[in-house]
Amino acid sequence: MSAGADVPVDLVEVFSSAQGEGLDVGRSTLFVRLGGCDLRCAWCDSPGTWKPSPQGRIETARGSGVFEPHDNPVEAGAIVDALLHLEPERHAMVSLTGGEPLLQPDAVRALAARLGVLGPEVMLETHGLHVEGLRAVLDHLDVVSMDWKLASDVRRETDARGGTPAAFHDAHEAFLAVARAAPRVVVKVVVTQNSTDEEIDAAVARIARTHPSAALVLQPVTPFAAVRERPSAERLLALARRAERKIEDVRVVPQTHPLIGAL
């Protein structure tokens, strides 16, 4: 057995689709979604990933939306063996996503090492707070796509509901300082009606001083759960204009997978 093949993974699902967010939107992507999350974002569209579940699932044919169950935890080597029929080598990217994948750094490392050699770029999609987990996997990643969470809409799992969560800026800045060693870094800020200019300006200032060549994606929230409205185009464009004074590559990119009805 090769090293790491027996690492246990709490798996949610594996499926083939097109990347629906950020800089790589539209590229063919094999998603490997891991279970467990320690944040609670107001707009989260995958609350089913918050707790590891007894079973994960793997799509039976590329883009079919039909899945075969697998009992958790599944060994990393067994996941890779079970997804080979989805032709990872014919995808532009593999996305290791969640939930929060860095709650399982050994699993991310084992999967990234195996999937990267098959050809696609390996992207980690993370909430961008677990710096030690990132250190453990960074040498196997081509792209780090991290969120910069705003306390106006996001709380830690352990925060009391209705309280005022502490800002995430310090933890994100420490994470970005490590992530900048990756070949490519994308920082995504989900903007809602609750997001304040002050917290977005603070995020932009910290990105600019820590890794100014990282791309910044301002993503208008996709209404879901308690979130009913998205911010106006006027506001988004004004935020982008301000961010461009400090960061060279700033984009306004909404989620596209809900538009085409894809997973």
Instruction: Name the site residues for ligand SF4 (rule: CB under 6 A).
Output: 37, 39-41, 44, 46, 49, 98-100, 127
- Rounded least distance, CB 51 to ligand SF4, Å: 11
Quote the radius of gyration of the chain (alpha carbons, Å): 18
- Rounded least distance, CB 6 to ligand SF4, Å: 26
Task: Indicate the residue among 145 and 210 with the shorter CB distance to ligand SF4.
Answer: 145
- Rounded least distance, CB 226 to ligand SF4, Å: 12
- Rounded least distance, CB 70 to ligand SF4, Å: 20
Distances (CA, A) of 244 to 25, 232, 237, 239, 251: 21, 19, 10, 9, 9
Task: Indicate the residue among 113 and 227 with the shorter CB distance to ligand SF4.
Answer: 227
Task: Indicate the residue among 77 and 98 with the shorter CB distance to ligand SF4.
Answer: 98
Task: Indicate the residue among 12 and 200 with the shorter CB distance to ligand SF4.
Answer: 12
